[in-house]
Amino acid sequence: MGDEDRLRKAGLRVTAARLAIMQTVREGDHLDVDAVHRGVRDRVGQVSLQAVYDSLHALQRGGLLRRIEPAGSPARYETRVGDNHHHLVCRQCGKVTDVDCAVGHAPCLAPASDAGYLVDEADVIYWGLCPDCRSEDAR
């Protein structure tokens, strides 16, 4: 299914900016808003930062993008949605890497106590040093 169809299925208008955002985020690596804005400008020309924020919010609300917010880092966006995957974040350079659930069936959706909540998503972030930063530290 193409991005135009995904937008329509989510009940969103198809615009050049939204298509450019989807493409930019898909081709990027957990991009922050500034990087998305630059990518959209490169694809469609002038677009305001506020328009990018608004579209990112609409695309997230429509289930087409996922927003992650590692502590001490700006919000980042990805197109991998709906599979309850997690993230590795480098403490030194901030690189973010997807990681599947440790045992393959999302046990994190069954917490020891749900306090009456209906749990539908878990956001697990593993912190450490990426291979590049580990190599630099070893020098």
Last residue of a domain, one of 68, 99, 118: 68
Please state, in angstroms and rounded to a whole number, the distance separating the CA atoms of residues 100 and 76. 18
Q: Are residues 93 and 60 in the same domain?
A: no
Q: Are residues 61 and 103 in the same domain?
A: no
Average pLDDT over residues 93-100: 90
pLDDT over threshold 60, residue 96: yes
pLDDT digits (tens, 9 = 90+) for 14-36: 999 999 999 999 999 999 999 99
Cα-based distances in Å from 40 to 23, 73, 135 = 9, 21, 34
Domain around 53: 3-68
Average pLDDT over residues 95-113: 74
3-class secondary structure for 22-70?
HHHHHHCCCEEHHHHHHHHHHHHCCCCHHHHHHHHHHHHHCCCCEEECC
Are the CB atoms for 10 and 16 separated by under 8 Å?
Answer: no
The total domain count for the chain is: 2
Residue 51 one-letter amino acid? A
Residue 109: per-residue pLDDT? 64
pLDDT over threshold 70, residue 107: no
Query: Residues comprising the binding site?
Result: 90, 93, 130, 133
Query: Residue 114 falls within a domain, yes or no?
Result: yes
Query: Residues comprising the binding site for Zn(2+)?
Result: 90, 93, 130, 133
Average pLDDT score over the chain: 89
Are the CB atoms for 34 and 76 separated by under 8 Å?
Answer: no
Q: Are residues 10 and 59 in the same domain?
A: yes
Give strand ranges (E) for 61-107: 66-68, 76-78, 86-90, 96-99
Tell me how many degrees the CA angle 27-125-91 measures, rounded to the nearest 5: 85
Q: 50-64, 95-109, 112-126: which has the highest mean pLDDT? A: 50-64
Percent of the chain with pLDDT over 90: 66
DSSP strand pairing (125-128 vs 66-68) = unpaired
Residue 139: per-residue pLDDT? 66
pLDDT digits (tens, 9 = 90+) for 49-86: 999 999 999 999 999 999 999 988 899 999 999 887 88
